[in-house]
Amino acid sequence: MSVALNANIRSLLALASLLICAQQVAEAQNTSSVSGPTVSAGEREAEYRLGWVPGTDGRDDDFRHRFDLGLSLSERTAIKIFANFDDNPGGDFSFGNLNAEYLIELSPEDAPFWQTGIRFDGRLSDGPNPDRLGLNWLNQWKFPARLRARAQFIATREIGSNAGETIDFELRSSLIWKASDQYSLSLLSFTDLGNTDDFGANGRGHQLGPAVDGSFGNGVGWTLGALFGVTDRAPDHDIRFWITKSF
């Protein structure tokens, strides 16, 4: 076995350990993803995401709907706009927040192993919730046997009248296996790393779970997955379904 392949396998094992040790979800219905750093010229995509937390201990089910529209501006940059809506039984279908993302791919287009980029985020929230600015460092590693790994490091700062005074940190990570030309299987993890006053993952909630995605053809894809709470601070179950249309 080559030295390069040995190094890739060691890196993959290390990333797998990172996944198992990660993450808390930031919202009750997690419609977030582990984003990659790559951009392709001419990309346009619309997406609908549903997050569902089944009710437990006498509580009603919780739903979140997310509507996305993204497009590449060049071979190196892309933007995305999306809105979140809350839908709780017994309550109103209500607007949650409006978000904008600007992605810059930093690595060469033909990078053989490691790809990286940065993303700037902005959020406008409804009601008493503060607005938010974010900076993401996005990474992807390509391995043999159709395997990829991603790690997304996030720093966010609330702004506005009800904003906190700290910078908050998160880690999202995933392992992705392209099982065939039509299907991929993933293991995702979401980790709250605390903030500038209290940094670290110990004692915080964790969610971890699988996802499968495939294609209906004609540029239409789907994703179905679940996240499971590792600690009492996270929802026991978080069911996720996405439908995507590329143009």
Higher pLDDT, 19 or 82: 82
Secondary structure string (H, E, C) spanning 109-160: CCCCCEEEEEEEEEEEECCCCCEEEEEEEEEEEEECCCEEEEEEEEEEEEEC
* 23 preceded by a cis bond (ω within 30 of 0): yes
Q: Which domains does the chain have, with CATH numbers?
A: 3-246 (2.40.160.40)
Residue among 56, 15, 48, 39 at smallest CA distance from 173:
15
Please state, in angstroms and rounded to a whole number, the distance separating the CA atoms of residues 139 and 205.
Answer: 23
DSSP H helices, the chain, are 3-21
Nearest CA to 14 out of 175, 163, 238 is that of 175
Q: Give the Cα separation of 30 and 226 in Å (integer).
A: 10
How is residue 196 written in tokens?
Answer: 């500038």
Q: How do residues 99-125 score in pLDDT, each as one tens digit?
A: 999 999 999 988 999 999 999 999 999
Q: Would the pLDDT of 18 be above 50?
A: no
Higher pLDDT, 235 or 147: 147
Q: Give the mean pLDDT of the chain.
A: 86
Q: What is the pTM of this model?
A: 0.85
Q: What is the pLDDT of residues 208-228, one digit of tens each?
A: 999 999 999 999 999 999 999
Decide: 171 and 154 in contact? Cβ < 8 Å. Answer: yes
Q: Alpha-carbon distance 58 to 246, whole Å?
A: 40
